[in-house]
Each structure stands twice: as C-alpha cells, then as structure tokens.
C-alpha cells in the first residue's frame, strides 16, 4: 500500500522547483527513531522550500501524486509572511508550509554568520522557524548540509515565544473583546458573541497558557493540541467552553474567560491587570 508520505517523497524527487523538503512533527519523530510510529490520524507536516512558491496557490500540482485523489485544498497565510496549504487526499491530510527558497537560503547564511545573535529581526525569523521544527524534523530532499542547518538551528536559536509585552497585548485585546461581547448580548447577538468568545478570548488564553507552560519547562504544543491530556482540570477550564445561545450561558462563559486571562497573565508576568470587573 502506497502511503501519502510515500507518494509525496516520490513526487518531490523529480520536482525541480523544490530545493529542500523537510517533514516535521510526528512523522519526523517516527522516521528518526525518536518516537512511536505516527498514528492513522496524524497528518503529514511538510515544509517545501521552493523557487516557485506561487505554484502552490493552485492544486494542479497534486495531480502528479501517485495513488492520491484530492478531496479539498485550502491556502492560508501563516507566520513570517509564508503560506500554508492544507490538502485532504484519499490517503490522508497533509499540511505544507511553502517557503521561498531565497528566504531560507538567506536565513541559513545569516545563521552561519551568527547574525541571529545580534540582529533582532533575524533572531525572530529564525526563532519562528526553529520553533516549528523543534518537535522533530527530517530533511527528505536537499542533502546533509540542509539537515545540519535544521538540526543546529533547533539547538542554537532561541525559539520564538511570547514576550511579556506580547502576552499583555493579547490579554488586553481579549478583555476589550469581552466587554464588547457583553454589549452584543444585550442586543441579542448571540452567534456573534459565541464566535468572538472562541476566536479572541479562548485563543488568547491558549496562547498565554502555552507560553506559561513553556517557561515552566512543561510539555506543551501550539494551537491547543493535546490539552485534554496535558492540562489539569483547573487549567482546562480556562480554555474549554460549551455554551448555549442565550445571554445567561454566554455571559457566564465570557466572565470565566476574563477571569482565566487575568490569572494567566498575572502568573506569567507577575503583574495583575488593573481592569475593572465587567458588569
């Protein structure tokens, strides 16, 4: 049986624009022998470093994947101005981070010169790269020099994380949105309030909690992954919300989210917010 990763490896071998390709995450840990085999639900996370990034705005290239029928194809912007493609194939799901080759080549050159130690912008960019790759990575195309760069970057570049100022800005934005959502409830805008509860307030709490766990040396994953297995019931209550579409249920959830944000930002920064209690 040809797996999705097998199909992708075969495709990239003769794909001239793909200068470097690295699988990361659970499949990379399995390939390197540092983790268990990826479970059947694990998607394939692949970074494609290409001289033709615009080629991946369209799904046309997927027709060359042997044994894979494409069901859906979504392109989204992510950190650092690059794009992420999520594709659902008959053999499973794959997430592709599309990186212009010149950008990563310059990043490697800057790293080799040690500029990440002195130039904040370079440190931030390489820190975001190293953070993504810190959960395991194997270079499938590009050769040993690129594998050496990936390995060293993860070990030597400080991983990109929230500063206290970043976290405070997130918390302030969440509190402001909470106040706005309470006003929406008075107008009967329950769906809008529920949307912003999860899009703003839950997202802020997840990101601040992730940073807090990182600083404590605890295991944590981005995007709320595996929180059900990692968090205490008290921590989980700050990021898990089930609401009905009525004012009473949504108001209780908004106030609980604000209380969670207040506690998290206090523990992270040592400074309690001076926000007034929401009515």
Q: Which residues of 96-116 are buried (b: 16+ CB within 10 A; e: fewer)?
A: bbbbbbebbeebbebbeeeeb
Using DSSP's 3-state secondary structure scheme, residue 39 falls into coil
Query: Is the confidence at residue 42, as pLDDT, over 80?
Result: no
pLDDT at 26: 81
* Contact between residue 257 and residue 174 where contact means Cβ atoms under 8 Å apart: yes
Residue 36, pLDDT above cutoff 70 = no
Alpha-carbon distance of 127 to 275, in angstroms, equals: 32
The answer on pLDDT for 190 being more than 90 is yes
- Asked which of 28-32, 52-56, 186-190, 265-269 is least confident by mean pLDDT, the reply is 28-32
For 244-263, the pLDDT digits (tens) are 999 999 999 999 999 999 99
Q: Is the pLDDT of residue 41 over 70?
A: no
Quickly state the pLDDT bin for 1 (edges 50, 70, 90): low
Residue 75: is its pLDDT beyond 80?
yes
The predicted structure's pLDDT at residue 263 = 97
41, 52 Cβ separation under 8 angstroms: no
Tell me, what's the pLDDT at 21? Answer: 97
Query: What's residue 279's pLDDT?
Result: 85
> Regarding beta strands 18-24 and 44-50, do their DSSP bridges make them parallel or antiparallel, or are they unpaired?
antiparallel
107-149, pLDDT tens digit by residue? 999 999 999 999 999 999 999 999 889 888 999 999 999 999 9
Cα–Cα distance measured from residue 50 to residue 17, given in angstroms and rounded to the nearest whole number = 5
What is the predicted pLDDT for the residue at 43?
87
| Model confidence band, residue 196 (pLDDT cutoffs 50, 70, 90) | very high
What pLDDT, on the 0 to 100 scale, is given for residue 231?
93
Residue pLDDT, tens place only, 76-116 = 988 767 899 999 999 999 999 999 999 999 999 999 999 99
Fold exhibited by the domain 4-156 = Beta Polymerase; domain 2 (3.30.460)
Please provide the average confidence, as pLDDT, over all residues in the chain. 92
Closest CA to 188 of 243, 244, 247: 247
- What is the predicted pLDDT for the residue at 35? 58
Q: What is the mean pLDDT of residues 157-172?
A: 93
Name the pTM for this structure: 0.81
Residue 181 has pLDDT above 80, yes or no: yes
Domain ranges, ordered by start, for the chain: 4-156, 164-269
Alpha helices in the chain (DSSP H): 4-13, 26-32, 101-112, 120-133, 144-156, 164-186, 190-196, 203-216, 227-230, 233-236, 247-269
Closest C-alpha among 231, 230, 240 to residue 260: 240
Query: What is the SS3 assignment for 19?
Result: strand
Measure the CA–CA gap between 166 and 143, rounded to whole angstroms.
37
Structure confidence at residue 222 as a pLDDT band (50, 70, 90):
confident
pLDDT surpasses 90 at 173:
yes
Strand partners for 49: 20, 99
Is 271 within 8 Å of 214 (Cβ atoms)? Answer: no
**Which residue shows structure tokens 């404590």?**
216
Give the confidence band of 29 by pLDDT, cuts at 50, 70, 90: confident
pLDDT band with cut points at 50, 70 and 90 for residue 33 = low
């Amino acid at each position: 049986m040809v797996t999705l990763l097998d199909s992708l490896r075969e495709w990239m071998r003769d794909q001239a624009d793909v200068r470097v390709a690295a699988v990361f995450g659970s499949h990379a840990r399995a390939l390197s022998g540092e983790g268990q085999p990826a479970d059947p639900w694990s998607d394939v996370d692949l970074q494609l470093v290409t001289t033709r990034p615009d080629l991946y705005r369209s799904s046309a290239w997927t027709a060359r994947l042997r044994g894979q029928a494409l069901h859906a194809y979504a392109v989204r912007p992510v950190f650092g101005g690059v794009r992420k493609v999520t594709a659902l194939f008959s053999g499973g799901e794959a997430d592709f981070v599309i990186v212009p080759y010149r950008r990563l080549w310059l990043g490697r050159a800057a790293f080799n010169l040690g500029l990440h130690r002195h130039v904040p912008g370079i440190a931030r960019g390489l820190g975001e790269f190293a953070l993504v790759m810190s959960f395991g990575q194997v270079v499938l195309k590009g050769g040993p020099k690129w594998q050496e760069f990936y390995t060293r970057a993860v070990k030597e570049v400080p991983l990109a994380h929230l500063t206290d100022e970043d976290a405070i800005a997130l918390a302030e934005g969440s509190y402001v949105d909470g106040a706005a959502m309470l006003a929406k409830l008075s107008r009967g805008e329950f769906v809008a309030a529920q949307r912003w509860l999860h899009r703003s307030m839950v997202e802020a709490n997840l990101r601040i909690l992730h940073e807090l766990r990182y600083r404590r040396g605890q295991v944590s994953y981005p995007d709320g992954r595996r929180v059900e297995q990692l968090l205490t019931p008290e921590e989980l209550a700050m990021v898990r919300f089930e609401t009905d579409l009525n004012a009473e249920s949504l108001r209780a959830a908004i106030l609980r989210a604000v209380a969670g944000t207040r506690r998290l930002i206090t523990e992270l920064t040592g400074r309690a917010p001076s926000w007034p209690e929401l009515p």
